Structure 1
Amino acid sequence: MPSWFYIVITLLLCFQYISAVPTFQEIDNPNLRRRDPALATSPSGGYVPVHIDCPQNPFVRSPFDKDNGHAQLGRGESTYIKEKAAQSIPLWQKYLENVRLEKFKIDEFLKPAKEKGGVAALTLPNIGFAVSGGSVRALLYGTSILDSFDSRNDKANEAKVGGILQLANYAVGVSGASWLIGGWATSNFPVLSTLVPTWRLSQDNELWKWNVAKHYGSHHKMVKKKHKAGFPVSLVDYWGRILSGHFINEPGKKKQQIGKAVLWSSIREGSLYKKREAPFVMAVATSRPDKGKPFTPESPTYEFSAEEFGLYHPYLNVSIPIEHLGSTYTATRPESQRCVAGFDNAGFIMGMSSNIFSVGDAPKEDKKPKYIRVAQKFVHDHTDFEGKVPNPFKGLGKKSDPSGGDFQDTDRDLILMADSGLIEENIPIRPLIQPERKLDVVFALDSSAAGQDPRDPSLYRYPNGAQLYGIYSKTKLPVYGGYHMPNIPNASDGTFTKLGYTKRPTFFGCDDLRGPLIIYMPNYHATEDTNAATEKLTFKLLKMLDQHRIRTGQFAWHVPW
C-alpha cells in the first residue's frame, strides 16, 4: 500500500489533468434540497468491511443453472421487474392519455395487460436507459435527460414525454453516469432537478486546492483501517471517498465523513425501491486481465445492482448477493470459510465504475497520459491503479471444450476493476441487450467526447456514434453470437455523422424484432454549447442552469434536434 505522502502526491497529479466534479454554485433553497438522506447500513458503522457467516447458497445466480439454454435472472431482479410491471398499467394509461396519439386505441393496447396482468416484454413494453460516461459532462447530460422524462416534471408533461422514466424498468450508468445513478438511488430517487444544487459543489473543488486536499488525511485513515482489516485497497478507494463527499446525501455530516457507511445495497432500503416506483438501477465496470495486460474484446462487463454483483458473459454467467461483495467463496469453498459484509460501499462502487486510472496499468508500450506517467513514479505497485475486489468466482468459467475459452478472471485472486469506457463501452448497453432481460426499448444517452466534427470544425467534444457502433461491432464477433443489436451505421468512416445521427435522436431497429429498439440520444448543441471538456472543473451557476433548461426540453421547439 502506498504511504500517506505518495497517496496525496498521486491524487494531486492525477486530478490536475482529469475531471472529477465541477464547482457549481449551490442554491441555498431548502425546497431544492433532497428530502431523503442516504441510509447508512454498513455493519461496522464505517468504511471497513466485516466478516460474517456465509449463506447456505453463495450464489444468486448459479453458473450451473440454465433456463432454456440461457442464464437465469437473479431472484431479486426478476421479482422487482415482475412487481413493477404488474403495477404499471395505470402509469401507461396516464402516459398514453397525455400523449394523445392519433388513431391509437389505448384500451386495445392495454387490453392484454388488464386481462392477464402487467408483464414486462409480454403484455407491456420493457424499457431501459443506458446512460453514458463522460465525467461531469455525462453527469449533467444524463441528469437533464432523465429529468425530461420524469412525470414529476411539469415541463416534461407539457412536452408529452413526462412519465417515461416511471415506465422504465432499468437504468444503467457507467463512469460519470454511475455518480448520477448512485447519488439518485441512495437518496431514494428524488426529482432529478433537485440533485444538482445539493452536490456540494460551490467551493473550490479542484483536487489540488486546500478545500479538497485538507480531507486527504481523513480519507487515508479510513482506507488504512480497511487495509489493516485484511482487505485490498488502492487509489480507487480514495477516489471513491472523494466522490462520496459530493454525491452521497448525508446532511449534517462533515464532508470527509459522508458516505463512509452508505452501501450500494442500502438502495434496497429506500421507500421508492421497496414500492417498485423507480427503475432497477445498475452501475457497471470492466476488469483488466492482469497488471500490464491489455483489455481484449472479451473483457467482461461486471454489474452492480442493489441485489447482486455478477456478470453475463459467454464464458461465465454468475452472481452473488451484493451485500457479500468482497467474499471469496466459490462452489468448492470450505465449510469453515467466512464471508464479507460492508464491502459494497456506494462511493467505492462509483469509483470503480469511473476508474480511468487503470490506464496507468496498461502495457509498457502503450502511450500514457502525462499525469499517469508522473504518478507511476509514486505508486508502489501498478495494481494500485485498479479497483480491487476479491474474486468470488475464482475457478469458474473454465472452458468445457477445445473450441471455447477460459473466462479471463478465472484464475485471479483479485478482480481488477476499471472504467468500461476503456473497452470502448462508454454507453452501458451490454446489460440491456442480454436476452434474459427481454428489453423492447433502450434509450442510449451518449455524451462521449469524440473529437472534432470534420464538416464543422467549430463542433468538438460531441459524440460521433463511435461508442454505439463499437458495441454493435462486438455483437458480430463469434463469441457474442447470442447478443443482437439492430444495424448501426459505420462511425469510423464518418457515415454515422454524415447521416446526421449525431445531431438528433435516432431510432435504430424499427423493423428488427430480434432485439430491442435503440433510441440514440446524443449530446448536441441544440441552441447552445453543451460540450464541456472532460477536464473542466468549474461551471458558473447561470451557465449550468441554462444548459439544464436546454437539455430538459424547455427549448424543445428547436426543430433540428
Structure 2
Amino acid sequence: MLPAFSVLLALSLHVFPPTFAAPVVISGYAPVPATCPSTPLVRTASGISSSEAAYIAARKPVASAALGNWLKKVDSSFQTSNLPTVALTTSGGGLRSLLTGAGVIQALDSRDSNVGTSGLYQGLTYEAGLSGGGWLLSSLAGNNYPTVSSLQTNLWTAAFANSLAVPNGPGAPAALAQISLDITAKSAAGFQPTLVDAYGRLLSYQLLYGPDGGVSDDLSTVATLSSFTSYSVPFPIITALNVQTASGACTPPDNAVIFEFSPYEFGSFDTGVNAFTQTKYLGTSLSNGQPTKPTCEVNYDNLGFILGTSSDVFNEFCTAFPAIASSPGLLATLAGLVNQTHALTFMDEYALYPNPFYQYAHSSLVSAQKNLTLVDGGESHQNNPIFPFLQPSRAIDVMLVNDNSADTSANFPDGSELYQTYQQAQLAGLTRMPVIPPSSVFISKGYNIRPTFFGCNDNSKITIIFLPNHNYTFPSGQSTAKLQYSPSETDGMIKNGVQVATYGGNATFPECLGCAIVKKTGGALPTKCAKCFADFCYN
C-alpha cells in the first residue's frame, strides 16, 4: 500500500511540463474490437475457472517434483510423497517491497542463488502480489519469468536510478510523447483514460521490456509465454480494491471487495460480486453477462494499466480537480496527459473498468454500476494479498507471506496487516486462515523482525510462513515515497531481501522451513523438527 500524500509529495519534486512533442509511433495501448468468444464471458464464482484448474493440474506435479528435490537437498530424511500446495505472496510498499520481494524470490530460485532455500521457488504452485508486490510479479510474469539477477542488471538498475517522471532515461521526451499518444488513442477508442492510465504507462517503462514500455504486454498474453505454457512457474494473481464512489466514498472500507486479476480471469469471490469475467475481454460492454454490441474488446487488460490499478493511491486525495492538476511535478505531467482528452474530474483519481457485472444478478453490490472504480490493493489495511489463497477451491496448504509494509515510523511491518486479514477472514467465513495475534504480540515476541510459522498444529488451517522485512544487511526500511534508488541501493535492498528469506543466513532455517511444509502431509518428520516448531511456531 502506498501512503498517497507522502508519495505524491515526493513525486511532485520532479518537474516536467504537461505538454509534449508530436507522437513518434503508432500506439498499441488502445482497446480494439474483436470477435467475441464462444464461451460465456461471465460466470458465477462457484470455484476456480476451468482454465485455472487445468493449469494447476499440470503445474502441481511439476511443482511437487521440484519441492521434493528441494526437501531432499535440505534433509534426505524428509518424506516427499503427497506434498502440499505452496503459495507465495508479496505485499505492497512501492519499490521497497519490489526490491525486498525480489531478494526473497532470488533466495528461493535455484536458477539465481545457491543458499539453503534455493529451489523452493520452483516448488510454488501460486504467487500473488499487490501494489509494489504487484509491480514485482508483473515484471516477472510480463517478461516471461527471467531471474531477478537478469532484471536487476538489464532493466531495474538503470530504471530505478531515474525518476518515475523520466521514462527511458535520456529518451524521456520521446517516451513521454509516445505515452501522450497512448492516452489519446484510448480516449479515441471510446474509453475514458484517468491518472492511472498515465501512471501505469510510466511504471511500465521501469518494469517491462519492449517498445513503449512493453505496451503490447497484456495480462492475458502471459498465458501464451513459454514459461507459462510449460507449467514451469506459479500461477500469478494481482489484487485491487473496489470503492463505492456512487455512495460518496473516496477510499475502500476494511471489508472492501477484493478483486483478482489473473491471466485467465478478473473478478471476486467476495459476497456482492461473486463472479468472474475473462481477462482478455475486459473493456467489453456487458449486461447480465451478455455483450451489448456485435463485437467484444481486447487490449483493455494492458499489464501496465493493471499494475497501476493495484497501486493507485490518487483516490486518497479525495478532492475534485483542478486542485490536483495545479500541483507541480509528476502530478502535473499525469494531469496534462489526461487533460488532453477531457476535463479532469474526481473520477480521474480511480482506475476505471467497464463493469463486466453490470445487471448481473449474482453481483448485487456492483450490478447497478456502469464502471468499476478500483484502487490500491492494500488500502483496506490488508497489505498482503492473502484472500485469494483462502478460497477453498484453491486448496492452499502452505503460504509464504513476505510482508514489506510500512506499519511503523521506521517503515517496517508490525503484524497489523496480517491481523487485519485474520479478522476480515473470520467475518467472511474463510476458515482456512490460521489464528493471528494482534501487533502488540508481534512486537513483544519479536515476530515482526524474524520468520514465524502460524497454523503449524492445525491441519484444517493454512500454515503461514511469515517473512517480514528486516534490516539484516542494509537499511531496508525505506520510505514508500522513495521512488529513486541508486544502483548500490537497488543492489543492497535485493541482497537484504535474500537475508529476509533465509533468516539472515541462519544455517538451520531451511530445514525448519522444510519441517513446516512436510508437517502438512501428516507423515513422519525428522526428530530435529521438534526444535524447529518450538523456535518458530506460534502456539
Relative to the length of structure 1, the TM-score reads 0.78
Q: Deviations over 1:166-189 (max 9, x none)?
A: 111110000011111111111111
Q: Is the 8 A contact 2:12 2:328 kept in 1?
A: no
Q: Secondary structure at the match of 1:137?
A: helix
Is 1:380 the equivalent of 2:344? yes
2: distance between equivalents of 1:285 and 1:332?
Answer: 22
Q: Secondary structure at the match of 2:309?
A: helix
**TM-aligned CA deviation for residue 207 of structure 1:** 4.4
Amino acid at match of 1:533: S
Q: Secondary structure at the match of 2:402?
A: strand
2: distance between equivalents of 1:216 and 1:335?
Answer: 35
Once structures 1 and 2 are overlaid, which stretch shifts more, 379-388 or 191-200? 191-200
Distance 1:349 1:19, change over 3 A: farther
Which of 190, 205, 214 is the matching residue for 1:245? 205
Q: Deviations over 1:250-305 (max 9, x none)?
A: 2xx4xxx2222211112112111101000001111111111641422332111111
2: distance between equivalents of 1:468 and 1:12?
Answer: 24
Q: Secondary structure at the match of 2:214?
A: coil
Tell me the residue number matched to 2:415.
Answer: 465
Tell me the residue number matched to 1:3.
Answer: none
Is 1:442 the equivalent of 2:399? yes
Tell me the residue number matched to 2:371.
Answer: 414
Q: Is the 8 A contact 2:245 2:373 kept in 1?
A: yes
Q: Is the 8 A contact 1:17 1:371 kept in 2?
A: no
Q: Is the 8 A contact 1:236 1:355 kept in 2?
A: yes
**TM-aligned CA deviation for residue 16 of structure 1:** 4.5
Distance 1:230 1:20, change over 3 A: farther
1: distance between equivalents of 2:298 and 2:216?
Answer: 12
Q: Secondary structure at the match of 2:118?
A: coil
Tell me the residue number matched to 1:178.
Answer: 134
Distance 1:194 1:91, change over 3 A: same
Q: Secondary structure at the match of 1:316?
A: coil
RMSD value, Cα: 3.1
Q: Is the 8 A contact 2:390 2:430 kept in 1?
A: no
Which gives a bigger RCO, structure 1 or 2 (Cα 8 Å, sep 6+)? Answer: 2
Distance 1:240 1:334, change over 3 A: closer
Amino acid at match of 2:10: Y
Tell me the residue number matched to 2:505.
Answer: 556
Amino acid at match of 1:217: A
Which of 18, 30, 33 is the matching residue for 1:48? 30
Tell me the residue number matched to 2:148.
Answer: 192
Which of 255, 271, 279 is the matching residue for 2:234? 279
Q: Is the 8 A contact 1:283 1:305 kept in 2?
A: yes
Amino acid at match of 2:270: H
**TM-aligned CA deviation for residue 431 of structure 1:** 0.5
Is 1:474 the equivalent of 2:431? no
Q: Is the 8 A contact 2:288 2:358 kept in 1?
A: no
Tell me the residue number matched to 1:323.
Answer: 280
Q: Is the 8 A contact 2:285 2:293 kept in 1?
A: no
**TM-aligned CA deviation for residue 190 of structure 1:** 1.3
Distance 1:541 1:53, change over 3 A: closer
Q: Secondary structure at the match of 1:422?
A: coil
Tell me the residue number matched to 1:147.
Answer: 106
Q: Which runs of 5+ in 1 are unaligned?
A: 1-10, 22-43, 66-70, 111-122, 365-369, 400-405, 453-459
Q: Secondary structure at the match of 2:261?
A: strand
Is 1:216 the equivalent of 2:176? yes
Percent identity between the aligned chains?
27
Amino acid at match of 1:289: Q
Once structures 1 and 2 are overlaid, which stretch shifts more, 89-98 or 223-232? 89-98
2: distance between equivalents of 1:216 and 1:508?
Answer: 47
**TM-aligned CA deviation for residue 89 of structure 1:** 4.4
Once structures 1 and 2 are overlaid, which stretch shifts more, 497-506 or 215-224? 215-224
Q: Deviations over 1:480-501 (max 9, x none)?
A: 014431111112xx22211110
Q: Secondary structure at the match of 2:260?
A: strand
Q: Secondary structure at the match of 1:266?
A: helix
Q: Is the 8 A contact 1:19 1:535 kept in 2?
A: no
Amino acid at match of 2:414: N
Distance 1:249 1:386, change over 3 A: same
Amino acid at match of 2:346: H
Distance 1:45 1:239, change over 3 A: closer
Q: Is the 8 A contact 2:313 2:376 kept in 1?
A: yes
**TM-aligned CA deviation for residue 395 of structure 1:** 1.9
Tell me the residue number matched to 2:213.
Answer: 258
Give the count of matched residue pairs.
Answer: 474
The residue correspondences of 1:301-340 to structure 2 (distance < 5 A) are 301-331=258-288, 333=290, 336-340=293-297
Tell me the residue number matched to 1:359.
Answer: 316
Relative to the length of structure 2, the TM-score reads 0.81
Q: Which runs of 5+ in 2 are unaligned?
A: 15-25, 322-326, 510-535
Amino acid at match of 1:466: S
The residue correspondences of 1:226-237 to structure 2 (distance < 5 A) are 226-237=186-197
